[in-house]
Amino acid sequence: MVEISDIPDDGGAPNKKPQEQPPGEAKTATSLASLPVVLIELIVARVPICNHPAISVISKLFGRITSSPDLRHARSQLAITDHVLYALVGHPPFPPSWHILYRSSNGSLRLRRVNTLPPMPYGPAVVTIGHEIYVIGGSDVSGRYLSSVTVVDCRTHTCRSLPSMRVARLRAAAGVANGRIYVMGGCENIHRSKDWVESFDLERQVWIGTGGEVSDVSGGFVTYDVVKEKLYVLGLTRSLHVFEPKEGKLLTGVAYNASDLTGLWQGSSCVVDDLLYNFDPGCWRGQPIIVFDPEEGVEEGVWKPVRGVYGLPPQLYWYGFESKMANVGGKLVILVGNQSQYWNYYGDKYIWCVEIALERRQGGEIWGRVESVDVVFKTSESTPIIELCRTVIV
């Protein structure tokens, strides 16, 4: 990676006439600023996108370059992509808004609100496709269920609307498979069973009812993930629902012990390489991170421990049930705050971020290594509630 701060001032070229410089450009940029802008763009294009906020403050020139569409063009020309984490964080009484995880100029990770994006509904179902986040349903401030769908373009930080769903949904489950977005449950009137599951055809841009039966009457869900092309959904009453998109129906009966799966599965989970990872604050399998492979029958329980995960911050165990996990380019990233949404203290509230690299060793055991622990967010206002986090490819 190019370390901009390592690039020397132009003290080494005494015979050169100093470049004309617009007022306000910082000194650090002097030598780089003498390069043609297209060349600087190509250099910046190779810097991971989470470092761009740090680069943008070097000088006005870098500020312009990092926000310019030409940079996006240069990145796509060079086929450079990055995995970037977006977290939907609420600060009651305000509705949740998107925050982005980036690296600040001193190298530590930070979570920053994306001010150019509008506030989001409460309790939407969220999926990502490439550089886009689909925010599906949820409720407005007065608690009304929504059928609207908003697509966030993470390259430009702009939004567009999709056709509305056939029914309004709050805390629904959603997953992408077969060129469609499947959305399940969360309906206000659970007896409208014919629309309990519907899907959005990405090519034709239309919603299609699937006529599936209702399999949970509790309304919303705790969490959901797509594992090996099936949508796994955890109900509020610890019920398990597995939707098979190819057949267009819910699976009844699974090969493994479903109560063993739902017993330890909680809202802090994600999928890496088609395996479901979950944070278990109680360490019931002897380790804090556990993993589930639906194709593996395991005698001693469906969850297997991920070995070697040491050095997690204690807050992750204390507030682990409110933590959120995501797959960022094959690594597990977990966000956790040091205050519960269920009781509000005064004082400072922090959010920590933990990065864990994964490795499959001989014999199939999975090992994890904690790569970083950072305080990424601080506030003394209302408790931040991390609704979920998702990764986009930009």
The contact set with ligand NAG (CB under 6 A) reads: 104, 106, 108, 257, 259-260, 263, 338-339, 345, 347-350
Q: Which is nearer to ligand NAG, 70 or 348 (CB)?
A: 348
**Cβ pair 160, 153 in contact under 8 A:** yes
Our CB check for ligand NAG shows the closer of 107 and 118 to be 107
Task: Report d(CA 104, CA 115) in Å as an integer.
Answer: 17
| Residue 78: closest CA among 55, 102, 44, 103 | 44
**CA gap 196, 210 in Å, rounded:** 8
- Name the residue nearer to ligand NAG (CB basis): 5 or 106: 106
Q: Residue 94 forms beta bridges with which residues?
A: 91
Q: Cα separation of 94 and 113, whole Å? A: 13
Of the candidates 188, 141, 96, 114, the one whose C-alpha atom is nearest the C-alpha of residue 388 is: 96
Are 303 and 291 in contact, with CB atoms under 8 Å apart?
A: yes
Residue 213 C-beta: closest distance to ligand NAG, Å? 25
Sheet with 249-251, side-by-side order of all strands: 221-227, 230-235, 240-244, 249-251
What are the DSSP calls for 318-348, one per residue? HSGGG-EEEEETTEEEEEEESS-TTS--SS-
Q: For the CB of residue 108, give the shortest distance to ligand NAG in the complex, in Å.
A: 4
Q: How far is the CB of 378 from ligand NAG (least distance, A)?
A: 8
Our CB check for ligand NAG shows the closer of 195 and 280 to be 280
Nearest distance in Å: CB 295, ligand NAG: 18
C-alpha neighbours within 13 Å on the C-beta side of residue 97: 16
**CB 227 → ligand NAG: shortest distance, Å?**
19
- For 135, 239, 346, 361, the CA distances from 215, given in Å and listed in that order, are 23, 9, 41, 39
Least separation in angstroms between residue 277's CB and ligand NAG is 19
Report how far residue 96's alpha carbon sits from residue 349's, in angstroms, rounded to the nearest whole number. Answer: 17
CB of 201 to ligand NAG, least distance (A): 38
Comparison of 206 and 283: residue with beta carbon closer to ligand NAG: 283
In this complex, which beta carbon is closest to ligand NAG, that of residue 114 or of residue 177? 114
Indicate the residue among 172 and 353 with the shorter CB distance to ligand NAG: 353
